[in-house]
Amino acid sequence: MSGRPDLPLQLAVPDLGRLQCDRALRVLPGRRWTLAGVLEPNQQPVVAKLFLAGRHARRHFERERRGLETLHQRGIAAPDVLYAGPLADPPGWLILTAWLPGASADTLGEAAMPAVLRAVASHHAAGVEQTDAHLANFLVRSGVAWTLDGAGIRTAGGVLPARRALRNLALWLAQFPPTLDARLGEWCALYGAIAPAISRERLQPVLDRARRRRESRHIDKALRSCTAFDAQRTLRRLQVLDRRDDAPDLRAWLAAPDAPFEHLQAHWLKRGNSASVVRVDLDGRPRVIKRYNLKDFGHWLRRCWRPSRAWHSWRNAQRLVLWGLPTPRPVALLENRFGCLRARAWYVSEYVPGEPLGAALAAADPGRREVLLDRLCALLADLKHLNLSHGDLKATNLLVDQDNNLMLLDLDALRRHRRRPAFGRAFARDLARLRANWADQPALLAELDRALSDAGLAP
């Protein structure tokens, strides 16, 4: 059986008729397919969740079926189950539910939070806990969030115990960056209107821990094969790529990663001893490839036992993307290896046209300069909220795009600090490195210092 569905796909559903599936909503290759389609002969729109024959297929099917059943029994809005049982071709188990029109909560983002919080509060008041805290598991329709996934449903006898409710609420709120914590009081009040109240003071430390766990899981996930990423590890190399970018040109580059650097007409962005950067077109899309060089045997000996700078860049880019901080989207990571020893490495990201912050500020009129400084301070405030230090915050590592948005570049030294004093020292070094860019431009430096002071970021 193929690991991915060959669409359009026709399925015979016992006692209901023929199912025509033409769109994949989510695919876990060889394990589970979630497909959209219509049930003939009435052309009823449906969602088909197929648990493919395998070691744990029936167990996962039963968990999903029981979860949806529990939601209905406890009066929680969930899609109607039209069929739940075995499937002959392909072999496995099928749960067929009615299609619900509406918007997925993950596409609505922060705007979905009132509906999602009311749904989570209703869960807890009914003694239900959704352990798979993911906005895509809710669909918002006319201000009501419908619960789509039954696999993560756990229950209690009555109202969910306070400790479990607190942890579960923190899991949901951890999907949003700390910059939105100013709304915690409002969100706690919204939750408390339906379920037993939880104060912001009790919630904040639990939420901070949930964010750290979520970030750690996301970064670990970005280094293994899953729905979002394809990873291959051998004794000779590690390669990871975003499945959205998996196409022939990228695969060809993975087979010959030095080829763009050896091309006579290469579009060089940087020629350096420690790193070389070129812009290329892969599958019709502009990309930036950064190769981390090894200058000599001594340099290799110092670096070979540590994770490569490309590895750090990939992980840190995933960290920033998770929290919505601006950086070119990571595309691929490649490391040459000799067993546990690292050699040359490459990092691929989207290409974002723009100019360095230093050049942009020097050429800007007063109005644009104020906009750029405000956005710089907003970015620094976001980094501060997350205890992230950049490690080399020079103006060339801040790119200004055509809409005056700032993008963080050169992420291999970026670091999250667990202890606030250590972060404070690292952040002060970042600010000192940033200010040094305009040491010979006292007027511009004074404007920067005023902006930092107004934003509460003064060194």
What mean pLDDT comes out for the span 356-373?
93
Is residue 1 included in any domain, yes or no?
no
Answer yes or no: do 339 and 430 share one domain: no
**Banded model confidence at residue 37, pLDDT cuts 50, 70, 90:** very high
Answer yes or no: do 344 and 360 share one domain: no
Q: Model confidence over 380-421: pLDDT tens digits?
A: 999 998 999 999 999 999 999 989 999 999 999 999 998 889
- Amino acid residing at 89: D
Answer yes or no: do 37 and 88 share one domain: yes
Distance CA 21, CA 50 (A): 11
Tell whether the model's pLDDT for residue 344 goes beyond 90. Answer: no
Among 24-38, 59-73, 98-112, which range has the highest average pLDDT? 59-73
Tell whether the model's pLDDT for residue 85 goes beyond 70. Answer: yes
What mean pLDDT comes out for the span 276-297?
89
Question: Among 98, 124, 142, which residue terminates a domain?
Answer: 98
Q: Model confidence over 177-187: pLDDT tens digits?
A: 888 888 999 99
In 3D, which of 305, 354, 310 has the Cα closest to residue 332? 310
Tell me how far apart the terminal alpha carbons of the chain are, to the nearest angstrom: 61
Is residue 459 included in any domain, yes or no?
no
Range of the domain at 81: 9-98
Is residue 3 included in any domain, yes or no?
no
Tell whether the model's pLDDT for residue 299 goes beyond 60. Answer: no
Is residue 342 included in any domain, yes or no?
yes
Answer yes or no: do 324 and 362 share one domain: no
What mean pLDDT comes out for the span 103-131?
93
In this structure, what CATH number is given to the domain that contains residue 378? Answer: 1.10.510.10
Question: Among 221, 256, 289, which residue terminates a domain?
Answer: 221
Please give the tally of structural domains in the chain. Answer: 4
Tell whether the model's pLDDT for residue 263 goes beyond 90. Answer: no
**Banded model confidence at residue 1, pLDDT cuts 50, 70, 90:** very low
Is residue 2 included in any domain, yes or no?
no
pTM here is 0.83
The more confident residue out of 5 and 127 is 127
**Banded model confidence at residue 293, pLDDT cuts 50, 70, 90:** confident
Answer yes or no: do 266 and 308 share one domain: yes
Residue 427 and residue 384 in contact, taking contact as beta carbons nearer than 8 Å? yes
| 67: exposed, middle or buried (Cβ count in 10 Å: 0-12, 13-18, 19+) | buried
Tell whether the model's pLDDT for residue 237 goes beyond 50. Answer: yes
For the ranges 1-5, 37-41, 81-85, the lowest mean pLDDT is seen at 1-5
Q: What percent of the chain stands above pLDDT 70?
A: 97
In this structure, what CATH number is given to the domain that contains residue 113? Answer: 1.10.510
Tell whether the model's pLDDT for residue 46 goes beyond 90. Answer: yes
Answer yes or no: do 330 and 344 share one domain: yes
Answer yes or no: do 66 and 110 share one domain: no
Is residue 141 included in any domain, yes or no?
yes
